[in-house]
Chain A
Amino acid sequence: MKENKFNLKKVGNFLINNGVVILIIISAIIVGVDNPNFFGKYNIKNLLMNVSVRAVIAFGIAAVLIMRNNDLSAGRQVGFAGCIAATLLQKADYVQKVYPNLPPLNMWLVCALLMIGFALTFGLINGLVVSKMHVPAFIGTYGMQTVIYGICLVYTGAQPIGGLIDKYTDWAAGSFLGLDFVPNLGVVALLVGLFIWFLFNHTPFGKKMYAIGGNPNAASVSGINIDRMTILSYMLAAALFALAGFMLGAKAGGTSAALAAGYELFAIAGCTIGGVSTNGGIGKVSGIIIGVLVFEILKIEMQFVGVDVAYTYVVQGIVIVIAIALDIRKYIARK
């Protein structure tokens, strides 16, 4: 009798702690039964491509969030990286070419340079501003968000950039080894996920990151250089944002300064739904992937059922708030 009650309580807790995830999976099944297309090849691939880009951004944000910081410049970094990639990878015969005399470069070289370049500029600056100058992360990175948008407008001349080389766009649209359910972008996200999982769980960087999030004072006394770790986390994040921009530019087939605006909020929401604590020190890679996935499923579901776009925003907003409320609840209710 007593045993029974205890188990019921456990089940109840499980349901509440994973409430948002469970609800969304159930609704997906209901939508899927009604619209067989929902589980169709095309839809699933599309879902995975979207999720891939967002997961890469979320991994970057997670590193920063776990250390009790934040990065509001994520979306603009992604957008700017996408724009730069696009200008360097335009077809030679495209009329409105930004750099008319530049032959299209090797796309992998572009990708690598973007990642390194972003880490060394925006990532490094964000890190320095937050650590050495003690500007609260929320404000410091918000400043960066606006700065990057401005630079991006100047860079693109506020014009859309099209005429991307086929190799680039085909790669993003393509599937790994011709397997329809495995988009190339998904493979990239998976590799990044593995890398992040390894970094978070099996390296000194990861251990120190969780420690700083758990208790910065204790971390400092334990010999952890918090400033250095903060800077490194922003640099890692910036490199991942650049990669996400490279992926997104190819997927969209053309870019503009508006690319990826506000994506940081989706990423933060995904992380939180997936259990990255807003109080620092907690967060698992598997959780982040689930969080991002669930959020994306929710969106597509609503499109499928034919919910007015306006309402999809309302629902997404509510889901974010509920997810965070449930997350916080885990810390209050210790009874």
Chain B
Amino acid sequence: MSEYVLEMKNICKAFPGVQALNNANLALKAGHVHALMGENGAGKSTLMKCLFGIYKKDSGQIIYQGEEINNRDPFEALNRGIAMVHQELLPIPDRTIAENIYVGRYPVKKIGPIKVIDHKKMYNDAQALLDELNLNFDAHAKLETLTASQMQLVEICKALSADAKIVILDEPTASLTLKEVDKLFEIIRQLTEKGCGVIYISHKMDEILQISDEITIMRDGQYIGTWDASEMTTDMIIEKEVGRELKNLYPPKINTPGEPVFEVKDFCSIHEHSFQHCSFEARDGEILGVAGLVGAQRTELMEAIMGLRGTTSGEVFFKGKKLNIKSPSDAIKEGVTLLTEDRRGSGIFGVLSVADNVGIASVNDYLLYRMMVDQKKINQIVDKSIGELSIKTPSKKTQIQHLSGGNQQKVIISRWLAKDPEVLIMDEPTRGIDVGAKYEIYSIIGRLAKEGKTIIMVSSEMPELIGVCDRIMVMCEGQITGFVEGEDMNQEKIMELSTKFIK
């Protein structure tokens, strides 16, 4: 037997219009963490789905523990000891944590001739697993009581409960807090000590360099190479990913903030523990960052401004005029738009085309004879966006669900750029996006600000906020704890404000 638990050789997979994988390779050693890297749409998720039995590969070989295998479905993969945490979560919110962990593989016991689910064993096992990982959740709690990042940890538990030889983690940290990431890394270490191999997909360079042993890089579905993580630097990885050198992570600042124009006054949530008495101002031509830990209620506040959440008080002014916002459609009419955090839940229209996904918010703006949608005009905008944001898609008629995660995000950003708003609120705009595309998005944000638009950017990535924003507002437990700019815009100061009310 070779030193590898898993070897994937010359894997090819085509979808209508795209060769997603073109002779991709991956070799994983037992007890190692293997990072799989590449730009959005490089084929990372697809390669893993071929292994896990979600997609059927067109050609190539998968050798697992010395024998060639071909998983027809995830069930077969799990039985073989291959577990996967998906990039897009698939939780069942109104069932308990334990049920989510054991869904489809419930432990059974026999009562006479009938097999029934052994609930006691299920809850005990689940609780033991949670405890082992130092997660203090109750296995009986409904999944919906958890935050998105906690759900992600449960999803990871699910993979671990399968007692796997290989665990695939596809962007597991996209929505985790720093502390949770540490927890995850601890879990990964426990796994590798047991001899389990881990395949780790992420766009976060520092994590990759911290946790992985080897790095395999892919570009356009092709295998570029495998290196020891110890010999790689961020710059080298980026260069291999994009195929050229990328000098800076952030574009130079080109905007100059002007007068305060967008004013939010005394927003209070109907929920006591959510945001309370939040007031702030943003200037025209300003990029205002919003920092805070998960649970700081940043998303909730932004959604309340858009009319999506119940409030007991709160007013919004633009250039001195009070905006009457009761729903997102009111807000959009007033020129205020929101890019939501939850791409799958409230971002994409999966079965609609890329073109329709871009155009949907603007259909009333481009009319012929006052009733007919000017599809030509909209298509021009779509083509322009596809070019500007380098969206990888076979055509603008492709259903958006067939795009890679990062490319879906770019499509939704295009939707709001097409709308040309005065105030653009972006909640985690670069989540799951590769470095090259991040740079493009930062440039676009800068350009919009230069044109005099107000940008409010919520992000959990402090370096990104510091690199892009003119000023950063910090929140902690539903309150605004301060603003930093200039000299003060550093990690220590922001961290201090974000933990102001946390013991």
Residue numbers of A with Cβ under 8 A of B are 2, 198, 202-204, 206-208, 210-211, 213-215, 217-225, 277, 279, 281-282, 334-335
B359 and A207 form a contact (CB under 8 A): yes
Given contacts A210-B356, A221-B308, contact A202 B346 (CB under 8 A): no
Given contacts A207-B359, A208-B360, contact A223 B346 (CB under 8 A): no
Return the contact of B360 from the options A207, A217, A277, A279 (Cβ within 8 A). A207
- B375 interfacial contact with A, CB 8 Å: yes
A-B CB contact pairs (8 Å), 25 listed: A2-B59, A198-B372, A204-B364, A207-B363, A208-B360, A210-B349, A210-B352, A210-B356, A211-B349, A211-B352, A214-B350, A214-B352, A215-B346, A215-B349, A218-B347, A218-B348, A220-B346, A221-B306, A222-B328, A223-B333, A223-B361, A225-B327, A277-B351, A281-B349, A281-B350
Apart from A215-B349, A224-B329, what are 18 other A-B pairs with CB-CB below 8 Å? A202-B373, A202-B375, A204-B364, A204-B373, A207-B373, A208-B363, A210-B352, A213-B351, A214-B350, A220-B308, A220-B327, A220-B346, A221-B328, A221-B338, A223-B331, A224-B360, A225-B327, A335-B54
Q: How far is the CA of A207 from the CA of B366 in the complex (A)?
A: 13
Interface centre among A198, A210, A223, A224, by most chain B C-beta atoms within 10 angstroms, is: A223
Q: How far is the CA of A176 from the CA of B340 in the complex (A)?
A: 54
B356 and A207 form a contact (CB under 8 A): yes
A220 and B363 form a contact (CB under 8 A): no
Given contacts A207-B360, A208-B363, A223-B329, contact A218 B351 (CB under 8 A): no
**Quick one: which of B415-445 are within 8 Å of A by CB?**
415
Q: How far is the CA of A176 from the CA of B268 in the complex (A)?
A: 66
Closest Cβ neighbor of B359 among chain A residues: A207
Q: How far is the CA of A334 from the CA of B306 in the complex (A)?
A: 36
Q: How far is the CA of A202 from the CA of B337 in the complex (A)?
A: 25
Given contacts A208-B363, A214-B350, A221-B308, contact A203 B356 (CB under 8 A): no
Residues in A whose Cβ lies below 8 Å from that of B332? 222-223
A215 and B363 form a contact (CB under 8 A): no
Residues in A whose Cβ lies below 8 Å from that of B372? 198, 202-203
Closest Cβ neighbor of B330 among chain A residues: A223
**Quick one: which of B370-394 are within 8 Å of A by CB?**
371-373, 375
- B75 interfacial contact with A, CB 8 Å: no
A218 and B349 form a contact (CB under 8 A): yes
Given contacts A204-B364, A221-B308, A225-B327, contact A281 B351 (CB under 8 A): yes
Residues in B whose Cβ lies below 8 Å from that of A218? 340, 345-349
Chain A proximity of B223: nearest CB distance (Å): 20
- B4 interfacial contact with A, CB 8 Å: no
A215 and B356 form a contact (CB under 8 A): no
- B232 interfacial contact with A, CB 8 Å: no
Q: How far is the CA of A203 from the CA of B332 in the complex (A)?
A: 19
A225 and B329 form a contact (CB under 8 A): yes
**Quick one: which of B24-47 are within 8 Å of A by CB?**
none
Q: How far is the CA of A203 from the CA of B373 in the complex (A)?
A: 5
Q: How far is the CA of A213 from the CA of B350 in the complex (A)?
A: 10
Return the contact of B350 from the options A204, A215, A219, A225 (Cβ within 8 A). A215
Chain A proximity of B20: nearest CB distance (Å): 13
A222 and B360 form a contact (CB under 8 A): yes
A220 and B351 form a contact (CB under 8 A): no
Q: How far is the CA of A4 from the CA of B74 in the complex (A)?
A: 28
A281 and B329 form a contact (CB under 8 A): no
Residues in B whose Cβ lies below 8 Å from that of A208? 360, 363
Closest Cβ neighbor of A220 among chain B residues: B328
- B367 interfacial contact with A, CB 8 Å: yes
Closest Cβ neighbor of A228 among chain B residues: B329
Chain B proximity of A215: nearest CB distance (Å): 5
Chain B proximity of A261: nearest CB distance (Å): 33
Q: How far is the CA of A202 from the CA of B364 in the complex (A)?
A: 11
Chain A proximity of B14: nearest CB distance (Å): 8
Chain B proximity of A44: nearest CB distance (Å): 35
- B500 interfacial contact with A, CB 8 Å: no
A203 and B349 form a contact (CB under 8 A): no
Residues in B whose Cβ lies below 8 Å from that of A203? 371-373
Chain A proximity of B235: nearest CB distance (Å): 37
Residues in A whose Cβ lies below 8 Å from that of B345? 217-218
Residues in A whose Cβ lies below 8 Å from that of B364? 204
- B280 interfacial contact with A, CB 8 Å: no
B352 and A222 form a contact (CB under 8 A): no
Q: How far is the CA of A202 from the CA of B377 in the complex (A)?
A: 13
| CB-CB nearest 7 A-B residue pairs | A214-B349, A223-B332, A217-B346, A223-B329, A204-B363, A281-B351, A222-B361
- B55 interfacial contact with A, CB 8 Å: yes
- B56 interfacial contact with A, CB 8 Å: yes
A335 and B56 form a contact (CB under 8 A): yes
Chain A proximity of B78: nearest CB distance (Å): 17
Interface centre among B337, B338, B351, by most chain A C-beta atoms within 10 angstroms, is: B351
Chain B proximity of A192: nearest CB distance (Å): 17
